[in-house]
């Protein structure tokens, strides 16, 4: 009988015993107690911590694990399926995590039904840890930690031609909507919702997206690699497992193939106040570049890296605009998406990013 379930309430001690035995974490012991509590603030997936008790001692038996499931909210659930977010995250943990050096939770159980997108992820619990907070921002020291981890994701699969044949990416390509067709409507709804809230010069930039996106998406002048594509503080834990590791990255639903520098530009626009970013960004991007070189990347000079950073700020604007209209609306969500959009628009203005994507 399959263990796959989209409903966390169906996870009971017997279910967890089977999953942990299949993962090789317990042998004779059984789970006899299980307490489930919500954790995190994911927008298109629901996460829970399962506190476990056993009828005996085994050295590898975890005291707790984290489970992730499709969103209970129907709009968020439809968005997760339509954008192949669930397919990609399960594929990352099953197939791709072991091929890169970025630190992530170890998967204990990872299954998805391709017909329904029902999925179950049971992951190693990295608590105690210090969660990143998108609205609070982070220190420059935390930025450097994040950029070390970004290079650890990007360098191992740098310019790897086999990435395009990975099944989750071919599925994503087959289901992908033509963004050019739907983007004007999305922008119209976004402006209706936030007009008078977001600055007019930023709305002017958002209006330029439909003309720029075709060139942006078709550009192949930059080495491609695995890209997280939502690499921001809400998806990061610092000082994990009581500071035994400096950082871990979560939420791999937006995983794609593209320029690694997109993750860097997006992280800095979303996580650092624009005045602080302007002060430190060239040093931070140079630090990231040096990490790529240290990890063996040889075909990517500093001048190209810095130029690409200045070009690829559009991703942050897109994420702020499209995500705001893709999930259940909330007060925190509005604050989050407005901060993301403002940060990316300020970054794009600072670097005249749209000038790179004109005819």
Q: What is the pTM of this model?
A: 0.95
Of 81, 107, 124, the one marking the end of a domain is: 124
| Residue 336 predicted with pLDDT over 80 | yes
| Residue 228 predicted with pLDDT over 70 | yes
Comparing 36-40, 92-96, 232-236, 342-346, which segment has the lowest mean pLDDT? 36-40
* CATH label of the domain that carries residue 240: 3.90.1200.10
At residue 257, φ and ψ (nearest 5 deg) are -110, 125
Q: Do residues 178 and 327 both lie within one domain?
A: yes
> What percent of the chain is modeled with pLDDT above 90?
82
**Predicted local confidence at residue 98, as pLDDT:** 96
Q: Do residues 154 and 289 both lie within one domain?
A: yes
Counts for the chain of helices (H) and strands (E), in that order: 14, 10
Kindly give the interhelix angle for 331-351 and 274-294, rounded to the nearest 10 degrees. 80
| Residue 174 predicted with pLDDT over 80 | no
Question: What is the pLDDT averaged over residues 217-246?
Answer: 95
> How far lies 275's CA from each of 114, 263, 286, 347, in Å?
45, 20, 18, 10
Structurally, how many domains does the chain consist of? 2
Question: What is the pLDDT averaged over residues 76-90?
Answer: 90
- As a whole number of angstroms, the distance between CA 314 and CA 197 comes to 20
- As a whole number of angstroms, the distance between CA 139 and CA 133 comes to 11
| Residue 171 predicted with pLDDT over 90 | no
Q: Do residues 181 and 253 both lie within one domain?
A: yes
**Predicted local confidence at residue 146, as pLDDT:** 98
- As a whole number of angstroms, the distance between CA 10 and CA 180 comes to 41
State pLDDT tens for residues 11-66: 999 999 999 999 999 999 999 999 999 997 777 889 999 999 999 999 999 999 99
**Predicted local confidence at residue 328, as pLDDT:** 77
Comparing 118-122, 220-224, 320-324, 354-358, which segment has the lowest mean pLDDT? 320-324
- 2 in any annotated domain: no
- As a whole number of angstroms, the distance between CA 332 and CA 310 comes to 29
Residue 301: domain span: 130-357
- 341 in any annotated domain: yes
Q: Do residues 157 and 200 both lie within one domain?
A: yes
| Residue 197 predicted with pLDDT over 70 | yes
**Predicted local confidence at residue 2, as pLDDT:** 85
- As a whole number of angstroms, the distance between CA 131 and CA 113 comes to 30
Q: Do residues 106 and 135 both lie within one domain?
A: no
Q: Do residues 102 and 139 both lie within one domain?
A: no
**Predicted local confidence at residue 195, as pLDDT:** 87
- 1 in any annotated domain: no
Q: Do residues 190 and 82 both lie within one domain?
A: no
Q: Do residues 78 and 205 both lie within one domain?
A: no
Q: Which residues contact 275 (CB under 8 A, 6 or more apart)?
A: none
């Amino acid at each position: 009988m399959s263990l796959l379930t989209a409903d966390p309430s169906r996870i009971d001690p017997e279910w967890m015993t089977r999953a942990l035995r299949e993962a090789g974490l317990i042998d004779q012991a059984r789970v006899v107690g299980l307490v489930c509590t919500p954790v995190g603030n994911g927008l298109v997936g629901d996460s829970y911590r399962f506190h476990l008790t056993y009828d005996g001692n085994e050295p590898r038996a975890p005291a707790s694990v984290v489970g992730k499931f499709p969103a209970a909210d129907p709009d968020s659930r439809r968005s997760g399926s339509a954008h192949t977010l669930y397919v990609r995250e399960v594929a990352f943990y099953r197939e791709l995590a072991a091929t890169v050096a970025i630190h992530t939770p170890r998967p204990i159980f990872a299954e998805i039904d391709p017909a329904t997108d029902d999925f179950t992820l049971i992951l190693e619990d990295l608590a105690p840890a210090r969660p990143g907070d998108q609205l609070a921002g982070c220190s420059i020291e935390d930025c450097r930690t994040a950029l070390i981890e970004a290079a650890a994701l990007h360098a191992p699969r740098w310019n790897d031609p086999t990435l395009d044949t990975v099944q989750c990416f071919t599925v994503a390509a087959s289901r992908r909507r033509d963004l050019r067709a739907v983007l004007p409507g999305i922008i119209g709804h976004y402006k209706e919702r936030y007009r008078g809230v977001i600055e007019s010069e930023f709305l002017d930039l958002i209006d330029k997206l439909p003309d720029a996106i075709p060139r942006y998406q078709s550009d192949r002048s930059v080495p491609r690699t695995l890209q997280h594509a939502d690499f921001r503080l809400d998806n990061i834990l610092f000082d994990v497992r009581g500071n035994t590791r400096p950082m871990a990255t979560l939420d791999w639903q937006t995983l794609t193939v593209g320029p690694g520098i997109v993750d860097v530009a997006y992280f800095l626009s979303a996580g650092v106040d624009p005045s602080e970013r302007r002060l430190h960004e060239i040093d931070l991007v140079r630090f990231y570049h040096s990490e790529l070189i240290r990890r063996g990347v040889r075909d990517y000079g500093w001048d190209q890296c810095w130029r690409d950073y200045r070009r690829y700020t559009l991703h942050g604007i897109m994420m702020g605009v499209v995500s705001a209209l893709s999930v259940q609306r909330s007060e925190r969500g509005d604050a989050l998406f407005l901060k993301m959009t403002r940060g990316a628009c300020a970054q794009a203005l600072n670097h005249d990013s749209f000038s790179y994507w004109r005819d």
